[in-house]
Amino acid sequence: MPEADDKIPVPSPPIPSPKSEDRFAQKTATATIWMAWFTGLLGITSVLTVCVLRNQLKEMRTDAADARDNVWRDQRAWVSVPRCVLDREPSAGDLFTIRCVIVNTGKSPALKVRDTYRLSIQPSANSEPDWKASKVSAPSVIPPSAQNDFWFSASPDAVVPKLAADLYAAGGNKVWIRSLISYSDVFGRAHWVKTCSYHTVGAPLDNFTACDDGNTTDDVDGPTP
């Protein structure tokens, strides 16, 4: 038996070899790299997902706006001036009248319809007048598909001078009329129509020829002048 003061030897813990430490560090570094790659891919995926969602939202908004615009165009009022009629051929010292029909070919009423015009007897058309300085009619409402029920009457500011009447009778002058029709649709949008036409002596009283220019709408040229 061992003596009382003899110590029982305690085994020492194994000392890791340098190769084991290197393998552990290598595995840790590899795992860190893979985590970095995964994090990077996750970030890229998140960015791409956000971009896709934003594009989808933009497309949805565009589609909704297009749908609203299509409904508006289909349902709005569309005003035009299809024809004018002269009550009689102009003569010296006379006051003649031109009646121009206003129609609404749209599917909803035309609101706040106002008209103004400029009439003259001369060889060629004047340039477009300053409409803001012109007298404007009281507002009215034109229901959809109204035909020949609404019109405006235009007369010269004074009787026809003899010289102008003689030139008209000889074919040198023409009767010119320019008009501006402004209105609003039921969606609250403002619109306008400009017309320009002329009548020559001897033609039927309802025969007016469109000018080379001066016939346009806000759909072509923009907001109400």
Residue 78 corresponds to which tokens in the numbers above? Answer: 């569309």
pLDDT at 219 > cutoff 90: no
Q: Tell me: the pLDDT tens digits for 141-181?
A: 999 987 667 888 888 888 899 999 999 999 999 999 999 99
Residue 63 corresponds to which tokens in the numbers above? Answer: 């589609």
pLDDT at 35 > cutoff 80: no
Rg (CA), the chain: 42
Q: Tell me: the pLDDT tens digits for 68-102?
A: 677 768 899 999 999 999 999 999 998 899 999 99
Comparing 56-65, 96-105, 179-188, 193-202, the range with the smallest average pLDDT is 56-65
Contact (Cβ atoms closer than 8 angstroms) between residue 143 and residue 109: yes
Residue 97 corresponds to which tokens in the numbers above? Answer: 């009248």
DSSP conformation letters of the chain: ---TTPPPPPPPPPPPPHHHHHHHHHHHHHHHHHHHHHHHHHHHHHHHHHHHHHHHHHHHHHHHHHHHHHHHHHHS--EEEEEEEESS---TT----EEEEEEE-SSS-EEEEEEEEEEEEESSPPPPP-GGGS--PPPEEE-TTB-SS-EEEE--SSPPPHHHHHHHHTTS-EEEEEEEEEEE-TTS-EEEEEEEEEE-TTS-TT--EEPSS--EEHHHH-S--
pLDDT at 18 > cutoff 70: no
pLDDT at 216 > cutoff 80: yes
Comparing 6-10, 87-91, 136-140, 169-173, the range with the smallest average pLDDT is 6-10
CA dihedral sign, ordered 154, 160, 164, 170:
positive
* Contacts (Cβ under 8 Å, ≥6 apart) of 9: none
Query: What value does the mean pLDDT take over residues 24-38?
Result: 70
Count of beta carbons in the 10 Å neighbourhood of residue 19: 8
Query: What value does the mean pLDDT take over residues 186-198?
Result: 94
Backbone angles phi, psi at 195, to 5 degrees: -130, 155
Count of beta carbons in the 10 Å neighbourhood of residue 140: 15
Residue 127 pLDDT: 86
Q: How far apart are the first and last CA of the chain?
A: 124
